[in-house]
Structure 1
């Protein structure tokens, strides 16, 4: 404890309370007037409070004063770690002292530093959030850590009654200020894209080791001075290095960063002289102002750069969306053109198939009939029957190839209607059994081949079988995926059994044809064999035994066609 005694002569007793203005007392102290304890700079024990970073204006009652000589005594709590003592003291009218000295100095030493600290700290928290979102060690991370360390260091300015032990609090203030300087170097290096892992981990290791030594030494002034020397030398050299990098990049943001670092270098040099005892006791440290101010400006610059980056990202996103939309329109137009081309090609193919079917079917029959009529080799009855078959074949071609929904039951209903109309004037009785409701879609080409085969079987029954009843069955086995087509009559029958086998499949699979028993002769049965092969089905021709008469064994034409599920 150190005591300072001041003597003041009063010619008259004061009518109003007098003020005692003290720009600085370090670390803390009590005030006595004429032996009476007026009070301390802050509440609490002197060794637990810190009064060195703010001015004080004590208001003393008139009863403390007397005529003549008055004694003002200060008991100052001091230690060997800091520059301790008492500044000059001014006694006078309270309002005059407050307006001339106290207000502006309190604002400068306390309010300004507190405001800058909170602003830079808030920007630091925002930067840490951005760094976490980016998930990488960016300049935002180092700025956020530097701002947090600076906030802890400045707590010694605006916090006069620490919530923890004063020794620990002093260590936190020293360590935070020390760490903030090294983090500041990493921040600027990262901003210029010059931060390498070796530099990063080397600086962090030196910082942690130094902070531990400061604590173990009890905040020894000599240790702190020695450990600060590398940091001070680096800060002195940093502006030149940053201006060199700026000269190479020619970027405006790097110019501002270099100027900011220069301000910190100047402030650090002045504060180093003050810390080593080579400056006025009353003078203020510039580091709290320069660090907080530079961090506030740097954080604002990062915020502006981030805003510009977001704007650029939005513009690029909008441009990309526009390009995607344009490309999508182009692809849609191309798709429409390809679709129209494919539709035209399909229509052309369909016309070609129709023409081919017409040529191979009733077209060739009509040509042969024309030649035979010209040569008087065809009777009128045969000609009428041929024309009737050709008309039926034409109807069949139109009905099947014009069926756009590929629904087999619809095609069979149309076929049944045409067939019944065609045979309405004949003694034949047709018996139909259609059980194909669950059949899958079948292409018109396959339906045409199946119905032509059935029509050929009907024609054979009309020409040769001498039948009175014809049973037509179309059934689909949903489990096995097999379509069974049967045409059975009660006519004269055949002499042998013909089995035509094809590999199970649909059009496009090569069929294997084999004939079991006596070969079948006749163009109609050969056509049926070809059509069964075309759909990958299995054709068999045998006696139906619909009639009990041995002279009328009947004929059964059966086609098995596998259909895809």
Structure 2
């Protein structure tokens, strides 16, 4: 039962799980970010402010939070905020551990003056390059030694110095016991700094992983995700407590530009995921990402914040249009990954809407805490999960395709094996048929010819048959038959074995002719190509040579030897007879059984035949080139 329950839970779609989780996340954030309250502390909601070039008498009362404005909306001057110390903190200020001032958000650079004494500050007396004190909260202890005895005469001033195109001002501040102030500060620091670093680290890790996968697969979705996450890393890095050398305007421009590119990459990712084909919107986003650096340069040169607001209106409008397009697409049916992105996209829209309502329009809520940071984290992991899911599906598809391919390969292998068996059978039949024709031809030329001659002799002799002549012819026929049978023995190119077999056939004829046989056959490398057919050709060549020695050379000795000469194996038959001129001439025209027949048969077995004078006598050499090299290379059978 438990296992069935687990399986049932596992069958729940991921987008439904995501809907439940993001709903719980939004509910939790709503509970923990209600209207801010600090136990024992007093919220300061009003201050007297005057700008550079004005005196304290010219100060005006403003509500906090407040963004001070100069005549050109460039925020490059200074503003001073005078805060009245609440009378309710008189006793706490002179007791241990005292009271403190909490600045949740303040301008780019600031300092705090208590009765004319500077008690805190950041980036006021030096040029730290890029450093924005407004990205995190600050705690300023109120030193009891600097307080005047008459409480109403104490003067607490927060001076703010701005940078071009960066809105400056002061948020609602708190004055209260240090313990309560530090507790609130830790809570704000976790949301403003620690959580941002967590999102930055996760975005960097996932962005580098996506970039690595894109480098291997070149899939567009991974490239878009990597680009969006790495740009988000830059934006988040510039949104926390960092100090960078160089011009503040440059890094501020990078910070603003990174938001545009992040929105563009997310837009392209969503439309690529949903496989939209609206080329006009794609061109619009690509143009926005290309024009953004030029627009930022114009913004810096003009120092007109209206241009930046106009640009942000375009960017946000495109983002809203993209999300509405995704939701509209859902009407025609979408898959699980697309449903997940719709759910998460709606949740992120809710976080952005909450921040806008609370921060800009004054709706109830903790104004010092933004929901967009955890919303970005959820969106980031949702996009990562979508790509992971797609990768798993791709691997499953690859596995299925590999299995199908393996099955097809097995089927083709079986077909090829069947075809190979058929071809081998056909080849075997062809070889058998060729061997049969060869044996038939050899028997016809040798044994058949001898038997026909014997038969003709018997018919021509009538009643007076020359028994000796008939016996000789039949003996020759038997020798031909034995030679044919000997050629069928497997000798694997072993020249010594082949010649040893031939020796048994020719020795009686040489002995009858009173010719001494000098046998100098040595072990030599195997000669490739001397199979049954090649052996028969070699037998015929040597049969022709010995026949000519017996009939025409008038020799008393014939020497048979084998040796190697370079890369060649040489078979030599030399006699001590009358010489080449005396015995070669009569046999040159013997109807194919002369020197021409020897050359033809030698060519069939890849041998070069040489006829050389021996003084006295004649040498016939058969040279098999490449035989020795063939054995050295390991190709001998």
Normalised TM-score (structure 2)? 0.68
3-state DSSP of counterpart to 1:471: strand
For 1:23-34, what aligned pairs fall within 5 Å after superposition?
Answer: 23-34=104-115
CA separation in 1, counterparts of 2:565 and 2:540? 22
Task: Name the residue aligned to 1:6.
Answer: 84
Q: 1:121 aligns with which of 201, 204, 210?
A: 204
Task: Name the residue aligned to 1:535.
Answer: 601
Q: 1:487 to 1:336 in 2, by over 3 A?
A: farther
Q: 2:585 aligns with which of 483, 491, 497?
A: 497
CA separation in 2, counterparts of 1:306 and 1:334? 40
Q: Report the aligned-residue RMSD.
A: 4.5
CA separation in 2, counterparts of 1:179 and 1:466? 104
3-state DSSP of counterpart to 1:497: helix
Which deviates the most, 177-186 or 352-361?
352-361
Q: 1:228 aligns with which of 312, 318, 324?
A: 312
Task: Name the residue aligned to 1:239.
Answer: 323
For 1:178-189, what aligned pairs fall within 5 Å after superposition?
Answer: 178-189=260-271
For 1:79-478, what aligned pairs fall within 5 Å after superposition?
Answer: 79=162, 81-99=165-183, 101-135=184-218, 138-159=220-241, 161-194=243-276, 198-199=283-284, 201-218=286-303, 220-248=304-332, 250-266=334-350, 278-279=361-362, 282=367, 284-310=369-395, 312-313=397-398, 316-317=401-402, 320=405, 324=409, 327-328=412-413, 331=416, 335=420, 338-339=423-424, 342-343=427-428, 345-366=430-451, 369=454, 376=463, 378-421=465-508, 423-424=510-511, 427-431=514-518, 437=524, 440-443=527-530, 444-456=532-544, 458-459=546-547, 467=554, 469=556, 471=558
3-state DSSP of counterpart to 2:339: helix
Contact kept in structure 2, 1:130 and 1:140, CA below 8 Å: yes
3-state DSSP of counterpart to 1:25: coil
Contact kept in structure 1, 2:110 and 2:124, CA below 8 Å: no
TM-superposed CA distance for 1:107, in Å, is: 1.7
CA separation in 2, counterparts of 1:466 and 1:217? 119
TM-superposed CA distance for 1:264, in Å, is: 4.7
Q: Deviations over 1:235-255 (max 9, x none)?
A: 121123223445556322222
Q: Deviations over 1:481-501 (max 9, x none)?
A: 99886777569x98993575x
**Structure 2 residue 96 is matched with structure 1 residue 15:** yes
Q: 1:376 to 1:564 in 2, by over 3 A?
A: farther
TM-superposed CA distance for 1:33, in Å, is: 4.1
Gaps spanning 5+ residues in structure 1: where? Answer: 501-514, 548-555
Task: Name the residue aligned to 1:510.
Answer: none
CA separation in 1, counterparts of 2:558 and 2:260? 106
3-state DSSP of counterpart to 1:107: helix
Task: Name the residue aligned to 1:506.
Answer: none
TM-superposed CA distance for 1:111, in Å, is: 1.7
Question: RCO higher in 1 or 2 (8 Å CA, sep ≥ 6)?
Answer: 2
CA separation in 2, counterparts of 1:266 and 1:279? 16
Contact kept in structure 1, 2:491 and 2:497, CA below 8 Å: no
TM-superposed CA distance for 1:437, in Å, is: 5.0
Q: How many residues align?
A: 528
Q: Deviations over 1:171-214 (max 9, x none)?
A: 22222223322232233233334475845642332223222222
3-state DSSP of counterpart to 2:135: coil
Contact kept in structure 2, 1:26 and 1:78, CA below 8 Å: yes
Q: 1:53 to 1:431 in 2, by over 3 A?
A: closer
CA separation in 1, counterparts of 2:285 and 2:474? 99
CA separation in 2, counterparts of 1:245 and 1:146? 23
Contact kept in structure 2, 1:147 and 1:180, CA below 8 Å: yes
Q: 1:482 to 1:541 in 2, by over 3 A?
A: closer
TM-superposed CA distance for 1:405, in Å, is: 1.6
CA separation in 1, counterparts of 2:106 and 2:592? 124
Q: 2:151 aligns with which of 53, 69, 75?
A: 69
3-state DSSP of counterpart to 1:448: helix
Normalised TM-score (structure 1)? 0.76
CA separation in 2, counterparts of 1:465 and 1:534? 21
Q: Deviations over 1:259-285 (max 9, x none)?
A: 44444555556667789x555794555
Contact kept in structure 2, 1:150 and 1:292, CA below 8 Å: no
TM-superposed CA distance for 1:119, in Å, is: 0.7
CA separation in 2, counterparts of 1:140 and 1:540? 76
Task: Name the residue aligned to 1:508.
Answer: none
Contact kept in structure 2, 1:428 and 1:468, CA below 8 Å: yes
